[in-house]
Structure 1
Amino acid sequence: MLPASLDETLSRSRFVFVLATVTDENRHLIGERELELLPDSARLVLVSRAPVVDYPALLAHVARGRLLAGIDVWPEEPVAADDPVRDLDGLVLSAHRAGGMPEAFQAIGDMVLDDLTLLAQGLPPVRMQSAARELVGRYRNRPVTCLRSR
């Protein structure tokens, strides 16, 4: 495996999986210019955070039939029942469920158990990361409003 730039990777890829949290630096990381680099009929699967991709540009490429896409995260969720994207050929629309599959929860549990076993042996964790203040401050996910019962 050889390192490659984003442009190189996109121009040579028929399948692209976008798995990134949102920071100030990667908002619209995949925009019109990057989408143009993808070969015709390439597939883009977005399962991370919506702001990483320029949605109007991506949906325009799908509508023209140039790209196929699977999207699990949307700028506004849920996607309105009358939104035209629901009828867009070449688009698989998911309702923010990729991370909620039983297999994903099982894998997360396995990773936690692996690291807890290491910690119990006095060894450092391999899979978990500390929440580094300098990194957490860069994330730009929308805050979740919690309703407290009274």
Structure 2
Amino acid sequence: MPSNLFEYYAWDYRLLKRFARHHSTGEIIPEKLVNSLQGARNMFAATEMQRQVFYALIDQMIFGEQPEPARDMSQLVYELKREHTSWNHVDGTHWHIRFSHLLNYGAGYYSYIYAKCFASTIWQSICEEDQREVFQTWRS
């Protein structure tokens, strides 16, 4: 969850203006540019959420309380994608064998979605307003 929370700082102009400068002119990053990037950042939020839920579903089907019996993983991924997403499957890609989180999380990938929700709540209720106070609290 900390990485999700710290992403908010990476998009906060109050922090960016302290170090984000043009490499040759030294000009501080324009606030208008940061605002524009922030707007684009959430452009495909629904698609990203669908992708994360899809990954969590695969994880639960493989490692959950009632895992799938031994079967062709590529076929399972294909079926889940067809049933639960809005994008097309590309035959022969086998992307899931390179998605290390499916092995590292062990039926816990869904917690990534919770972590994003918790980070958002913490940011909005504690961190967004007075960052100096938050930093001092975290340092002690």
Is the shorter-chain TM-score for this pair beyond 0.5, marking a shared fold? Answer: no
| Higher strand fraction (1 or 2) | 1
Output the TM-score relative to the length of structure 1.
0.30
Larger radius of gyration: 2
Higher relative contact order (CA 8 A, sep 6+): 2
Structure-2-length-normalised TM-score: 0.32
Question: Higher helix fraction: Structure 1 or Structure 2?
Answer: 2
